[in-house]
Amino acid sequence: MTDKRTGVFTRRGLMAAFAATAVTAAPTYTNAAGFLRGGGDIRRIKMYSGRTGEKIDMIYWVEGDYIKESVDEVHKFMRDWRTDQVKFIDLRTIDILAAAHNLMDVTEPYMLVSGYRSPQTNNMLRARSSGVAKNSLHMQGKAADVRLNSRSVNQMAKAAMSCRGGGVGRYSGSNFVHMDCGSVRSWGS
């Protein structure tokens, strides 16, 4: 927060302190040209897990810099809850989630359906459903499945697709949207 050489408060230090306590959402744009639009100078992620009961609501990026402690918490939160394995979640996926959330102009947190999946969990889910990819980006920490009670699957998918940051899958029957930082594509109904 202060420059050790001069003892003076730095702008970056003040912004980090503000970010740690702020509950301000970044500005939204109705026509995002890229996934960083809608991110603003401060990026915030807000989710809860129905499986573990955990919640996160934090600013994880301020003026071009990721906040390591916040990002580490996101990694832990998005772990494979079945095996308790934590994996680095690709920062682009976190950015897509945050930007899509901002574009929808909602205060409700995402419900995390699935973040990181261990190979064991992915294989188990594949045995139960034809909709689970053999080489799922979830196993690489590059995907998340989320839902919102206040928005439809189509509304969520439209916001995520406007980010043009990766893949977007609609799973209307299960009421969730898949967002990943892989190639730009979409599927589902």
Domain membership of residue 1 (yes or no) is no
Query: In sequence order, what DSSP letters do the residues of the chain get, joined into one string?
Result: -B-TTT-PBPHHHHHHHHHHH--PPPP--SS-SSTTTTT-SEEEEEEEETTT--EEEEEEEETTEE-HHHHHHHHHHTSBTTTTB--PPPHHHHHHHHHHHHHTT--SPEEEEE----HHHHHHHHHH-TTS-TT-GGGGT-EEEEE-SSS-HHHHHHHHHHHTSSEEEEETTTTEEEEESSSSEEEE-
Query: pLDDT-derived band of residue 40, with 50, 70 and 90 as boundaries?
Result: low
Number of domains, the chain? 1
Q: What is the CATH number of the domain that holds 20?
A: 3.30.1380.10
Quote the pTM value.
Answer: 0.78
Domain membership of residue 106 (yes or no) is yes
Domain membership of residue 88 (yes or no) is yes
- Smallest CA-to-CA distance from 181 within 116, 62, 74, 95 is with 95
Domain membership of residue 2 (yes or no) is no
The average confidence (pLDDT) of the chain is 84
pLDDT digits 0-9 by tens, 153-184: 999 999 999 999 999 999 999 999 999 999 99
pLDDT digits 0-9 by tens, 42-58: 999 999 998 999 999 99
| For residue 32, pLDDT beyond 90 | no
Domain membership of residue 30 (yes or no) is yes
Domain membership of residue 17 (yes or no) is yes
Cα separation, 38 vs 33, in Å, equals: 10
* pLDDT reported for residue 126: 86
Domain membership of residue 159 (yes or no) is yes
Cα separation, 66 vs 154, in Å, equals: 30
**Which residues form the domain of 27?**
11-188
pLDDT digits 0-9 by tens, 117-157: 999 999 998 888 877 888 899 999 999 999 999 999 999 99
Domain membership of residue 150 (yes or no) is yes
